[in-house]
Amino acid sequence: MNYRGPYRVRVDHKPMPEILHPQDAIVRVTRSCICGSDLHLYHGMVPDTRIGHTFGHEFTGIVEEVGGAVENLKPGDHVIVPFNIACGKCHFCRQGLFGNCHEANPQATAVGGIFGYSHTAGGYDGGQAEYVRVPYADVGPVRIPEGMDVEDAVMLTDVVPTGYQAAEMGGIARGDTVVVFGAGPVGIMAARCAWLFGAGRVIVIDHIDYRLDFVRQYAPAEVYNFRSLEDPVWFIKKITDGLGADVCIDAVGGDAAGSALQTITGAKLKLQAGAATALVWAINAVKKGGIVSIVGVYGPTANMVPIGNVLNKGITIRANQASVKRLLPRLIDHVQAGRIDPKALVTHRIPLEEISDAYHIFSAKLDGCIKPVLVP
């Protein structure tokens, strides 16, 4: 794929990627997905997204070629490739913070390396393509276990670990009430995973009814359309004995084009672009001493946190990119045991050549779309 500017992507012929470093592998993509994070790029929100960049950080593929220093992979291996590019050795990787690798993207204020996620995330071309160069090939990729469906495998590159980590960062205690903002793939998975941590009640808020219907069955969760609520914060307090939720998860992020965003004028909500609605709701709806877990992606300098409420209520905020490699062993186990069924989220299988349509469908939430998978 080739990024041509906001809302413009197309398929182009590009040179075959090559081994540039002895730790590289070249992978022939078998499946790739479009993620809500790609929509931030598509909407032109991510700094330093260059014309000609190939997006795609969620992909599986077959190893074609490996560099001289690669020991764990060989041609023919069918692999899950985590979305983080990580060296495995730096200060951050050694703590399991593979999403914050300092070697794959040495900018101190930025995320680590991410496939296909602009030069802010290292400038690596991504997997919405036929072939992709995979750096540090011994660190990230994991062979797809025998018998695992490739659609389950591709969801393990991001959606499952991100939803799981959202729940993990929430520090859910047995019986807790967890509110998830956002019923996209990430929020759906966070709601499902909240049960694995012992939640007693899981509530999901969105404004797209087909997604709420899905997560009601799938998580299963109580669901509410925020457009039918006068004030979602007041409503959550009302259904939690006036206390607020134990844990709130932001699975929306701050993309002005993709989200319904708010300013508060008195008690009324005004939906408009430009503010972090879901995050403000999460902070205001969590109980005193509660935890807000943020996996929704914001622009680097986005700054809409009602910090006085955070202080006065004694809230803990935890946020990060998912550390995919750290979580993969236990998540593969959950999938194989049937405790998580990721491929159920896949609603669309679209040929790579139709990428422009695929982005439009997912961005505009058309045709019941939850998760689109691209087939090269």
Residue whose structure tokens are 């993990």: 168
Q: Which is nearer to Zn ion, 83 or 214 (CB)?
A: 83
Take residue 341 and report the two structure tokens written for it: 């069924």
If one asks whether residue 55 binds ligand NAD (CB under 6 A), the answer comes out as no
Q: Please state, in angstroms and rounded to a whole number, the distance separating the CA atoms of residues 79 and 73.
A: 9
If one asks whether residue 40 binds ligand NAD (CB under 6 A), the answer comes out as yes
Residue from the set 9, 25, 26, 35 that interacts with ligand NAD by CB under 6 A: 35
Compute CA 250 distance to the chain's CA centroid, rounded to the nearest angstrom: 11
Burial class, 152, CB count within 10 angstroms (exposed 0-12 / middle 13-18 / buried 19+): buried
Amino acid identity at 244? G
Q: Please state, in angstroms and rounded to a whole number, the distance separating the CA atoms of residues 121 and 114.
A: 5
Helices (H), strands (E): how many in the chain?
10, 19
If one asks whether residue 158 binds ligand NAD (CB under 6 A), the answer comes out as yes
Nearest distance from C-beta of residue 156 to Zn ion, angstroms: 12
Q: Residues 29, 132: contact at Cβ < 8 Å?
A: yes
Site track for ligand NAD across 11-30, x = CB under 6 A: --------------------
If one asks whether residue 185 binds ligand NAD (CB under 6 A), the answer comes out as yes
From the list ligand NAD, Zn ion, none, pick the one residue 327 interacts with, judged by a Cβ distance below 5 to 8 Å according to partner type: none
Residue 364 neighbours by CB under 8 Å, 6+ apart: none
From the list ligand NAD, Zn ion, none, pick the one residue 186 interacts with, judged by a Cβ distance below 5 to 8 Å according to partner type: ligand NAD
Q: Residues 168, 197: contact at Cβ < 8 Å?
A: yes
- Residue number with the shortest CB distance to Zn ion? 35
By CB under 6 A, which span of 5-13, 37-45, 118-126, 346-354 interacts with ligand NAD?
37-45
Q: Please state, in angstroms and rounded to a whole number, the distance separating the CA atoms of residues 49 and 120.
A: 8
Q: Residues 325, 140: contact at Cβ < 8 Å?
A: yes
If one asks whether residue 157 binds ligand NAD (CB under 6 A), the answer comes out as no
Q: Please state, in angstroms and rounded to a whole number, the distance separating the CA atoms of residues 89 and 95.
A: 9
Q: Which is nearer to ligand NAD, 23 or 321 (CB)?
A: 321
Nearest distance from C-beta of residue 273 to ligand NAD, angstroms: 11
Residue whose structure tokens are 């695992």: 148
Binding site for Zn ion (CB under 5 A): 35, 37, 58, 158
From the list ligand NAD, Zn ion, none, pick the one residue 253 interacts with, judged by a Cβ distance below 5 to 8 Å according to partner type: ligand NAD
Q: Name the CA radius of gyration of the chain, rounded.
A: 20
Q: Which is nearer to Zn ion, 41 or 261 (CB)?
A: 41
Nearest distance from C-beta of residue 104 to ligand NAD, angstroms: 15
Nearest distance from C-beta of residue 134 to Zn ion, angstroms: 16
Binders in 234-273 for ligand NAD, by CB under 6 A: 251-253, 258-260
Backbone angles phi, psi at 206, to 5 degrees: -155, -175
If one asks whether residue 285 binds ligand NAD (CB under 6 A), the answer comes out as no
By CB under 6 A, name the binding residues for ligand NAD: 35-37, 39-40, 158, 162, 181-187, 205-208, 211, 226, 251-253, 258-260, 277-278, 295-297, 321-322
